[in-house]
Structure 1
C-alpha cells in the first residue's frame, strides 16, 4: 500500500511539473510580445501609450492565469528590462492586480502597427468616411436613438448592475478579488 501511495505521489508530482512546463509558453510569449513592442516603440514616435497598455493587459492576464505569472516572472531572464520598464512605465506594475483592462494585448498590437502606418495613397477612405458621417450627423444621431419603450435610464442602470455583478462572479472564479471598480487607463503623457 505504501509503495502504491509513493508511486501515485511521484506520478502526481510529474504531472504537476509537466503542467507547469506547459504553462511556460505564456511567459515566453509575453516576453516576446513585449520586447517586440519595445522595439517598435523605439522606431515609432507617439507609441509609448501602446506599450503602457500592452504591459498592463499582459500583466493582468498573467495575474489571472493558473499558475500566475507576475511581471517579475515574465522578465526572469532579463532583470535589466524589468527595471527599465518599472522606471518608464510604473502604472502597469502598480495597477495590474486592482484594475481591469479595457482590451486585449493583441488589440494594442494592432493599434500600434496601424496607428502610424503610412499608405502611399494616404488615408483618403478614412477621411471620406468621417466627412460623410459629419455631413449626416443629425440624421445619424436621430437614427441611433433607442426606440423601444423599455429603453429607459432605470433599465439601463439595472442592466449595468447585473453585468457588474456577473463580472464580479467571473473575477472571483479566476481569483481576481481586489478589483477597485476601475478600468485601466494608459498613461499618455510620455515625452
Structure 2
C-alpha cells in the first residue's frame, strides 16, 4: 500500500462508528507497515485471528472483504497471505489479535526494554485512535522469574475480544492449544462459569520470588490482580472483582514465563489432591465439549457467514 493511499484509507476508517471494522483495518495496517519480515508470521496470524472474530462476532458479522473494504488492499494481502483467507471459517486461532501486536512491539523494542514496550503500545492505541473494546487489549502484564536486574521479562495482554462467546471461545482455544499446561489447568479449573469444579483443582502457587505485575495500556498505571487471578495463580490481592477466567493479561504473561524458564517452572506447585491426570482429562474434555457448543451456536446465527470447525488450530506461516 502506498503511503498516501494508506493515509487516505486510515482517515476514512477514522470516520466510521463501527469500531470492529475500524480497529481491524488500523491494526492490520500497522502490522503490515511495521513488520520487517516479508511475509511475516505475525501478520499472517493477526489476519486469521481478526477474520475469525469477524465471522463469529455478534451481528453484524464480517467477511475479510467487509473488513478490508478495498479491492486492491484485499488482493495484495490475499496474494501474500493466502492461508488466513482460506481457513478463517474452519480453524481456530490460538490467541486473540492484540497478542500478535504485542509480539511485534517486543521484537522491535527488545524484550528487556519494558518501559519502551509499554509506551509503544500506548502510542499505537492513542495515535491510531483505536476505540472501544473491539480487538484492543486493556492491560499488559510483565512476569519475571525473580526481581534481579538481568531477569528476563515476559509479557502478555488481556483478551482482545468483545462479547461473551468470542471471549469464551478464544480462552478455550488458548487452554487447549497454546498456554503452558500449568496456566491452562488453572483456567480450566473455573472455566466457563467462574465456579471452581468440584472434581478438579489445577490452580497453582508461584515461587515467592517471581514477579507478575499488570498495568493499564492507555494510562500505564499499575493494576492489582483481580480475584480471578488471585484464585488461579495465588497472586496476593485485596480485589473482589472476578473477571472471566483466562481473560486477564496475567494468563498469557505467566504462560510465556513458564514456557521459557524451566528451572523456575519446577518450583511451581499444584497443591490440590484433585489435580490428577484422570481429573484433568475429564476437565479438558468438558472444555472441548463447551467449545464446540459455543461454535455451533455462533455458526447458526448467520446463514451468510458460517464457521465450521475442522478441529484444527491455526498455524501461521511466514518468517
- Normalised by the length of structure 1, the TM-score is 0.70
Contact conserved, 1:23 with 1:67, CA < 8 A, in 2?
Answer: no
Equivalent positions of 1:2-21 (< 5 A) are none
Larger-gyration structure (1/2): 1
- Length, aligned pairs only: 161
Q: Which runs of 5+ in 2 are unaligned?
A: 1-15, 115-146, 153-208, 210-257, 300-305
Q: Do structure 1's residue 105 and structure 2's residue 97 form an aligned pair?
A: yes
Q: Do structure 1's residue 31 and structure 2's residue 25 form an aligned pair?
A: yes
Paired position in structure 1 for 2:77: 85
Q: Do structure 1's residue 155 and structure 2's residue 279 form an aligned pair?
A: yes
Q: Do structure 1's residue 55 and structure 2's residue 47 form an aligned pair?
A: yes
Equivalent positions of 1:108-119 (< 5 A) are 108-118=100-110
Q: 1:55 to 1:136 in 2, by over 3 A?
A: closer
Q: 1:135 to 1:150 in 2, by over 3 A?
A: closer
Of Structure 1 and Structure 2, the greater strand share is in 2
Structure-2 separation of matches of 1:151 and 1:177: 34
Structure-2 separation of matches of 1:35 and 1:171: 28
Q: Do structure 1's residue 185 and structure 2's residue 207 form an aligned pair?
A: no
Q: 1:135 to 1:178 in 2, by over 3 A?
A: closer
Paired position in structure 2 for 1:6: none
Deviation at 1:140, TM superposition (A): 4.3
Deviation at 1:120, TM superposition (A): 9.8
Deviation at 1:129, TM superposition (A): 2.4
Q: Do structure 1's residue 67 and structure 2's residue 67 form an aligned pair?
A: no
Contact conserved, 2:48 with 2:88, CA < 8 A, in 1?
Answer: yes
- Normalised by the length of structure 2, the TM-score is 0.44
Q: Which runs of 5+ in 1 are unaligned?
A: 1-21
Contact conserved, 1:56 with 1:96, CA < 8 A, in 2?
Answer: yes
Instruction: Tell me: higher relative CO, structure 1 or 2? Use CA pairs within 8 A at least 6 residues apart.
Output: 1
Structure-2 separation of matches of 1:49 and 1:162: 31
Q: Do structure 1's residue 168 and structure 2's residue 190 form an aligned pair?
A: no
Contact conserved, 1:47 with 1:112, CA < 8 A, in 2?
Answer: no
Pairwise CA RMSD: 3.4
